[in-house]
Structure 1
Amino acid sequence: MNIFFLPVIITIKIMMMKLFQITFVVFIFCQSILADDQAPIVDTKNGKIRGYTTTLQYNDVKLFVYEGIPYGKPPVGERRFLPSEPIDKWDGIYNAHGYRNACMHSMLIVPDNEIPETKHQSEDCLFLSVYRPAKKTDEKLPVMYWIHGGGFETGTIFSIAYDPSYLAGVGNVIVVAVNYRLAAFGFLYADDEDAPGNAGLYDQLLGLKWTRDNIEQFGGDPDQITIFGESAGSMSVSSHLLSPLTKGLFKRAIMQSGTVNSWMGSNSKTESLKKTKMLANALHCSTDDVKQMLKCMRNASAEAIVESNKYGRNVGLVLTPVHDSEYIPKNPIEAVKNGEFHREIELLFGVNRNEGTVFAAAIFPKLLSPTIKNPQFTRMHAQTLIELLFGIFKISDPKAVAEFYLKNVSDSDVDGLRGAVGAAFGDYHLTCPSIFFGETFAKHSDSNNVFGYHLVHKPSMSGLLECVGYMGVCHADDLVFLFGFPIELRGTVYSEEDYYLSLDMINAWSNFARYGQPGKFAGMEWQPTLPTKSSNSSARVLQIDVRGKQQMIDNHFVPVCENFWRQRIFV
């Protein structure tokens, strides 16, 4: 991983915070939380839990929320860098009400007491939250297990950005959201039993086991669990699909804009160990002996590790999942191509139309920011930026990448030229790896319940505040609809088209969690991504748009993904 990726994550996180600063006042005004109205006490295998009731603006739907339930022992001291262990039983009643700690993440993102998310970071952060409709039912509700994104560096479930209340309430499902360790705490690898790597994935696994063992007490069906995530969360979902450790723990999966078989999604052991030693050097820990190196790193304060990890960004220190490991046994590209994944799982996968524009603009803001007035941006600028990026990504022919993305763009089309830089970035990192994963999964799947989507409608306000103008339908815009912001803010921030698309997406995602098929999307039947097992066609996907404009499209990704990128990144 590289210097350029982390500033992107940080910039995007900050942009998300700006958005939610604006919407928070409206959101809280609309959403009434009845703090004094307690939810029923639930008796789990670890002990009793008391939650609270919240009422949504939409049809006065009520939810029971159990917030910040501990599922793992604090991974501190000797447990730092190790796979997580189940939490011990407790006496009395645990009060699951209110934000808990975020996991340690980038200190460049400093809470300013205006952001509606937890202000506290700690290594003691292994919590999850459960959201369920309060309406009585004899049905065991399907369960959706949410894994947040943030580049494996940032993010927390204790944030308005990832509030799944509308998904649970409108979709009539139970949503479980999990905190997991990030950055060095979650993904440091030392080729040693004391730091085997993938601690963050082991956290997600432990939370998933907790869900399987306890969700029935909340009214959920442990045999109807769907794991879903976006960006790094989606990369995590795909990792679980490849891992032998997750066999039998979930029935369905939803991948939104990211996969493990990508430059961002995972690293080799060699590259991961190199990064660990870079971090050790920044902490003034000798790397001559691994055991002594790890002892030194465990003795360092959490704050010192975060500070050193920030320093390491300048030389490309971004820690991600490691493959050829216990958790991800093979190189993901080879595993996917060979069908070495949980073939019995039903899958929904997809991407947004302009995945890369926010990343490119965050890397080169002085050239690509959409707020620049009368930008002086030429074909030579675009070509230089693309060749620079793909030289860094170690693509053998960066000049060919630039020529491909610029061949149909007029010299006078400044936004088209800037958009081409973003398109190259997004197709390489997110779009094409996701399409390759979904297509190949469908070809090997035991069922035909594999469905793809392509989101092409831009919300009135993006999930990233600075996603405006030429930037299009940006990375994370799907979450605006899935988490119901246009429903909560109907007529104030979001249009009627946004409102209905949000309802349609929530219904499709919850239908998939319930039946293994998303069913009709605004009246249109969502067809499987491959019409037959023997099909050699590219992914058939639903083009998600406003009502009346959505359509099934065939071979949309062939010119870019199949004809250009496959030979470069999926061979």
Structure 2
Amino acid sequence: MRLLLVLVLLLLLTEGQQQFTTRVQTTRGTVRGFRIDQGSNRSALFYGAADIFLGIPFAQPPLGALRFQLPRPICPYQGEVGELAFKPKCAQAASPFSPGGTSSEDCLYLNVFTPSTAVPRAYPVMVWIHGGAFEIGGANEYDYEGAVRNLVSNGVVVVTIQYRLGPFGFFTTYTEEFPPNRGLYDQIMALRWVQQEIAAFGGNPSMVTIFGESAGGVSVSALSLSPLARGLFHRIIPQSGSIQVLFQSPNDVRGAIERDRAARWCNVTADPISSRDARRTLQSCLANITVARLTDAPQPPPGTGVFAISVNWNPVRDGAMFPEDPEVLARMRPRYDALLLDTRDEHALFSAPFFSGNVSAQGPGIIRDTLVRRGYGYLTDEQLDRIVSLITQNYQKGQLAANDNLGWYRVAVEAFSGEQFSRQMRQDANWLKASGSRTYLTTFAYEPRICGPSSATTGYNPIPHFAEICYLWFTAENWRSAANSSRIKPSDIAVANNMGLAWTNFAKTGQTGWPESGPHFAYVSFADTLVVGTDWRGREDRLYNKLLPTLIGNYPPTKVSPIIDSVLKHNGAKILAAWQQSLASCPR
């Protein structure tokens, strides 16, 4: 009788909880997962079935002596691996832009959502790289319910990965003590795992598409250029991101976050790139410094604002991951089928009125103020005046009164959406097309009614950075909330369905369903209906990519001197040799 009561109690405790129901044998050991079935009715809000595998380690935990080192391979698993919930996000500061879940330095895990492991198949694979300015975010924000509905149900395997952020992934002395671009090496390690293991989950390692948004889009672009990522994927989808959106060089005249933080954290004022003593002090200081201290960003200096591009944690020119300038690497890039997306009003998310609804500070001076805030401290006053004049001429529609605050706000959003994102994406499109890559272009133009950051009332409803995410991923919390309040319209469902089909068709065939860009840069304006246009971001290309460099030089400055180039390649060769030796310790 007592045993029966215990069994009943256990059944009551576990009722409704997810249980492991499936296991996969990989070369590293057993991975356990569970199956979900949301039904086959495509008229329902959620549908589709899949095997779900969460929290799969793809590298050794970057702890202790590995804290600031390149990722090390994980060879055999110790027992079964796999979780019933997402693992913590990589260590980061709390942010309203990345709600939910805990964070930890032990974070190098990935997740696999596959139609089925019961029947041998070779589904195309889509690997998602999350965004968050290389400082925040995690795989837990891209839940499997929506992914199964909008992506997996169309016949693909979806993999979501994590990588070290902020100082953990990007603080560097450009030497072996603190190797550059660790976060990108983490991504490469995850992609190596996909190549080695995804067949066991029903995926085709010869048909891998990498896609990502914001910093994830920057990562997709960066990996497509890096020689270290060759052969790990075959198609690319950068969304609202290109290598030059967030990229810098060690001699960037705008300054460097590494020198600033070395002084702030450890009172190291000597240049850690050239001073061995400075690096030794940093090693001792940073070995035990707390996560809170490392992620506690200081307030920016007055006049620079929070989005100055020279004070972020960015990928850097390093002699190994990026042995040449991006433009040079683009000429050596393999031909990748490419789908590029930006949103109509990218910059709105980075403007105060978007959240406050207060446009009273928006006037003719907003163009110059935003340029300064964006970090262009290397421009002279004369150059600033010339650029402000050119931007105003190109984006002002008719003469605006100085007190037309809303009008100037709209000019600033349009101008800096182009300057901050779209010009770099057009540049990447130029490079891709020049190399013969089949290239598709789109601008997201649907007001994000269901989810995403909401704009305060200004009389203007922009379509900001990040607006497409909830439609592509069909994020469950947002859609259920919208359904409960009867806010979902047929057009919302159409946008989500269109994105899911276009993205998965591209992963399968390299085609989207709309015309390739061709010589006239054809694109679609993406909403509940797709409207074809030409000259995608042509104005931005002519102004920012062609005209301004003739006035102010390389824009932004990414090239390095021959001496620095030599030092980077010397250090990069040593760093790369040590990493490759560590990879060889796990023969495949």
Name the structure 2 match of 1:151.
133
For 2:456 and 2:184, locate their aligned partners in 1 and report how far apart those are by CA, in whole Å: 30
Change (3 A) 1:461 1:564: same
Alpha-carbon contact 2:32-2:82 (below 8 Å) kept: yes
Name the structure 2 match of 1:555.
535
Name the structure 1 match of 2:247.
266
Name the structure 2 match of 1:568.
548
Cα RMSD, aligned residues only: 2.8
Query: What amino acid does structure 2 have at the position aligned with 1:421?
Result: A
SS of alignment partner, residue 356 of structure 1: helix
For 1:220 and 1:208, locate their aligned partners in 2 and report how far apart those are by CA, in whole Å: 13
Name the structure 2 match of 1:354.
345
SS of alignment partner, residue 75 of structure 1: coil
Name the structure 1 match of 2:334.
342
Matching of residue 291 in structure 1 with residue 279 in structure 2 = yes
Matching of residue 96 in structure 1 with residue 79 in structure 2 = no
1:136-175 equivalences in 2 (<5 Å): 138-160=120-142, 164-175=147-158
Query: What amino acid does structure 1 have at the position aligned with 2:68?
Result: F
SS of alignment partner, residue 222 of structure 1: strand
Aligned pairs, number:
505
Identical aligned residues as a percent: 25
Change (3 A) 1:215 1:465: same
SS of alignment partner, residue 164 of structure 2: coil
Equivalent residue in structure 1 for 2:363, among 370, 379, 403: 379
Alpha-carbon contact 2:426-2:536 (below 8 Å) kept: no
Alpha-carbon contact 2:177-2:283 (below 8 Å) kept: no
Change (3 A) 1:404 1:171: farther
For 2:279 and 2:366, locate their aligned partners in 1 and report how far apart those are by CA, in whole Å: 47
Name the structure 1 match of 2:57.
70
Name the structure 1 match of 2:453.
464
Name the structure 1 match of 2:288.
300
SS of alignment partner, residue 380 of structure 1: coil
Name the structure 1 match of 2:227.
244
Query: What amino acid does structure 1 have at the position aligned with 2:251?
Result: T
Change (3 A) 1:499 1:260: same
Change (3 A) 1:509 1:178: same
Change (3 A) 1:321 1:297: farther
Alpha-carbon contact 2:123-2:204 (below 8 Å) kept: yes
For 2:123 and 2:269, locate their aligned partners in 1 and report how far apart those are by CA, in whole Å: 51
- Identify which range, 85-94 or 430-439, moves more after superposition: 85-94
CA shift digits 1:430-468 (9 cap, x unpaired): 1110011013201212x5x21111111113234113366
Query: What amino acid does structure 1 have at the position aligned with 2:454?
Result: L
Matching of residue 178 in structure 1 with residue 178 in structure 2 = no
Matching of residue 484 in structure 1 with residue 474 in structure 2 = yes
1:17-36 equivalences in 2 (<5 Å): 35-36=17-18
Equivalent residue in structure 1 for 2:199, among 216, 220, 240: 216
SS of alignment partner, residue 95 of structure 1: coil
SS of alignment partner, residue 432 of structure 1: helix
SS of alignment partner, residue 418 of structure 1: helix
Change (3 A) 1:167 1:274: same
Matching of residue 278 in structure 1 with residue 260 in structure 2 = yes
For 2:325 and 2:85, locate their aligned partners in 1 and report how far apart those are by CA, in whole Å: 40
Alpha-carbon contact 2:441-2:524 (below 8 Å) kept: yes
Change (3 A) 1:186 1:147: same
Change (3 A) 1:178 1:269: same
For 2:202 and 2:405, locate their aligned partners in 1 and report how far apart those are by CA, in whole Å: 54
Query: What amino acid does structure 1 have at the position aligned with 2:283?
Result: K
- Identify which range, 147-156 or 125-134, moves more after superposition: 125-134
**Uncovered stretches (5+) of structure 1, i.e. residues with no partner:** 1-32, 521-525
For 1:403 and 1:509, locate their aligned partners in 2 and report how far apart those are by CA, in whole Å: 36
Name the structure 1 match of 2:411.
420
Change (3 A) 1:560 1:322: closer
Equivalent residue in structure 1 for 2:36, among 45, 54, 59: 54
In the TM superposition, residue 360 of structure 1 has moved relative to its aligned partner by 2.0
In the TM superposition, residue 512 of structure 1 has moved relative to its aligned partner by 0.6
Query: What amino acid does structure 2 have at the position aligned with 1:266?
Result: F
Query: What amino acid does structure 1 have at the position aligned with 2:388?
Result: K
SS of alignment partner, residue 379 of structure 1: coil
Change (3 A) 1:370 1:312: closer
Change (3 A) 1:228 1:92: same
Alpha-carbon contact 2:19-2:84 (below 8 Å) kept: no
Query: What amino acid does structure 2 have at the position aligned with 1:326?
Result: A
**Uncovered stretches (5+) of structure 2, i.e. residues with no partner:** 1-14, 42-46, 271-276, 305-309, 556-588
Equivalent residue in structure 2 for 1:205, among 161, 167, 188: 188
In the TM superposition, residue 127 of structure 1 has moved relative to its aligned partner by 0.6
Name the structure 1 match of 2:274.
none
Name the structure 2 match of 1:82.
69
CA shift digits 1:304-360 (9 cap, x unpaired): 5425x5127558642211114300122224433xx22222x2111121111111112
Equivalent residue in structure 2 for 1:508, among 502, 509, 528: 502
